[in-house]
Structure 1
Amino acid sequence: MSAFMSAGGTAGGYAITYKLAGYDGAQSFLCFCAYTLATLLTVQAILGIKSAVRAVYLVLFNICFILGIVWFMLCLILPMFWIPTIDMSAKLLLSVASVILCSVNISKGVELFKLRWNRVGAELLSRYYDQKHSVIEWSDMVGGLRMAVSIYIPGVPEKLNSIISVAVVLSMIVGLSLRNAFPLFSLFAWGIPIVIVVSLVVQMIGFGIGQLLVLTALEKKDRNIIRPL
């Protein structure tokens, strides 16, 4: 599934780049994507094999899967970096804003996980963790946490999330509708909402980091490697 999504996103990004930046730009984009995908999928395959022997690797495997989703969406805005008519300052501004927004959402995900774990973690451990045999039903336990992502933009009240959601959808519709008449405007109208959606998805990476912190602390406490069931 991860390979299919990543390849689909790359194909879509290639088509956009070809239309807006020409053959050379599209080929450069494709080479960049090929190296990135090869690295991501290789790491994910290794973690998939190792996930049977240690729960930490299972969590890392899941984080890589989330990165595959992120890559799928990023491929819809990455083409703008191959378009020579877009000013470098605009590209840099979008890049910095994206990194900041994603970073704070990862931190938010870790914070939300910790809050939820502090409430129900002990109960879930007693149900799903076999300390004697050092095995844990990790996927079921994480499902029991019932974590959910929500839009988080620093300085914007959460009560405005419904308005932001509508604005994101409308902007994406406008961007798609004007892709032929105003391709560059369409790319930004589509791209900025994608950045917001990406920042929403990376909250799940924060959840994964929170899981890694819990698992490594548990292994350190019990002085043993914990295997998943």
Structure 2
Amino acid sequence: MHKVNFSSLLISFSILFIASGGGWLMTAKAGGEVAADEFIKFGGALAVAIFMGKVAIFKKAKSLLFYQILFIGGFGFDLAWFLSCFFLPLLWMDAIGIVEKIAVAIFYFLVCFFNVRLALKIFSMKWNGIGDAKFRKEFDVGQNCVDWSSVSKSMKLTAVIFVPGIPKKYEDLISVVMLFLIILGVALRSGSPKYSMVALSIPFSICAACCLQMSVYHFSEARMVRIIETRKSVKLRTSC
């Protein structure tokens, strides 16, 4: 389990605000200052909300396991927002038609929703099959602590590329298509930034959803820690 320190907070701040600033610049270039201002109102508010949530639990995250897992899980949101800022600015651009905007928004929502649901299902299976027994083995009753890294590693929770409706056997094909769209999006960046964002919306939506899987795994772990703490009337510490 990674230690929570000031560097962790600084990294989170950098990811969130570089993402929001970059999204603002891309929106200004492709859609003008008015669109950029509208984007930064939303993007800046979201970045501040995520970061302040981390600040609120930072002190407790250094000593209590529940808050440590929550804090680390927040990095999935940081990365998801960073990736989303490569294409979400198109929602504020007048040059993009309403149909295209709706299509991108629906795809983004659905791929994130189904990835979150998949992560919840995987965690439930892994916890019931491995995690719960491993926790019982690692829990130190006298110290009110547990080697949570060992518990987490035993479940082998990893993010996977998942597009709802496409079978797992086509994973390699999805990866190739994603790579092609990223290359196309980068190639169009200088000449046609609006079409660049449309091209990038598919692969980066999928990548952002993968990041959310890791957040869901951590938040599910935090939920189990809270259930165990309530059941045993203890507060689990980050280290023994």
Which residue, 4, 24, 41 being the options, matches 1:14? 24
Partner of 1:128: 138
Q: Which amino acid aligns with 1:121?
A: G
Partner of 2:230: 220
Structure 1: which 5+ runs fail to align?
Answer: none
Residue identity over aligned pairs, in percent, reads 23
Partner of 2:5: none
Q: Following TM superposition, by how much is the alpha carbon of 1:35 offset from its aligned partner in structure 2, in angstroms?
A: 2.1
Give, in whole Å, the separation in 2 of the partners of 1:138 and 1:112.
Answer: 18
Partner of 1:183: 193
**Bigger shift: 51-60 or 183-192?**
51-60
Against the structure 1 CA distance between its residues 174 and 224, is the aligned structure 2 distance closer, same or farther, given a 3 Å change threshold?
same
Q: Following TM superposition, by how much is the alpha carbon of 1:127 offset from its aligned partner in structure 2, in angstroms?
A: 4.4
Q: Which amino acid aligns with 2:147?
A: E
Kept in 1, the 8 Å contact 2:77–2:211? The answer is no
Q: Which amino acid aligns with 2:44?
A: A
Q: Which amino acid aligns with 1:74?
A: S
Give, in whole Å, the separation in 1 of the partners of 2:188 and 2:48.
Answer: 33
Which residue, 98, 101, 109 being the options, matches 1:91? 101
Partner of 2:45: 35
Q: Following TM superposition, by how much is the alpha carbon of 1:53 offset from its aligned partner in structure 2, in angstroms?
A: 4.3
Q: Which amino acid aligns with 2:161?
A: I
After superposition, give the CA deviation of every residue in 1:148-172 in whole Å (9 maximum; x if it has no partner). Answer: 1111222211010011011101111
Q: Following TM superposition, by how much is the alpha carbon of 1:173 offset from its aligned partner in structure 2, in angstroms?
A: 0.1
Give, in whole Å, the separation in 1 of the partners of 2:236 and 2:115.
Answer: 29
Kept in 1, the 8 Å contact 2:95–2:194? The answer is no
Kept in 1, the 8 Å contact 2:181–2:200? The answer is yes
Q: Which amino acid aligns with 1:195?
A: S
**Bigger shift: 24-33 or 195-204?**
24-33
Q: Report the aligned-residue RMSD.
A: 1.9
Runs of 4+ in 1 over 3 A off after TM superposition: none
Give, in whole Å, the separation in 1 of the partners of 2:114 and 2:81.
Answer: 18
Q: Following TM superposition, by how much is the alpha carbon of 1:145 offset from its aligned partner in structure 2, in angstroms?
A: 2.7
After superposition, give the CA deviation of every residue in 1:102-124 in whole Å (9 maximum; x if it has no partner). Answer: 11111111211222222322442
Q: Following TM superposition, by how much is the alpha carbon of 1:140 offset from its aligned partner in structure 2, in angstroms?
A: 4.1
Kept in 2, the 8 Å contact 1:110–1:209? The answer is no
Q: Following TM superposition, by how much is the alpha carbon of 1:16 offset from its aligned partner in structure 2, in angstroms?
A: 0.9
Against the structure 1 CA distance between its residues 222 and 9, is the aligned structure 2 distance closer, same or farther, given a 3 Å change threshold?
same
Partner of 2:179: 169
Which residue, 138, 145, 148 being the options, matches 2:148? 138
Give, in whole Å, the separation in 1 of the partners of 2:151 and 2:164.
Answer: 30
After superposition, give the CA deviation of every residue in 1:124-151 in whole Å (9 maximum; x if it has no partner). Answer: 2144321233212323432343211111
Which residue, 192, 203, 227 being the options, matches 1:193? 203
Q: Which amino acid aligns with 2:144?
A: S
Structure 2: which 5+ runs fail to align?
Answer: 1-10
**Bigger shift: 192-201 or 125-134?**
125-134
**Bigger shift: 217-226 or 121-130?**
121-130
Partner of 2:219: 209
**Bigger shift: 117-126 or 70-79?**
117-126
Matched, 1:116 2:123: no
Partner of 2:15: 5
Q: How many residues align?
A: 229
Matched, 1:46 2:46: no
Partner of 1:104: 114
Partner of 2:7: none
Kept in 1, the 8 Å contact 2:131–2:152? The answer is no
Partner of 2:92: 82
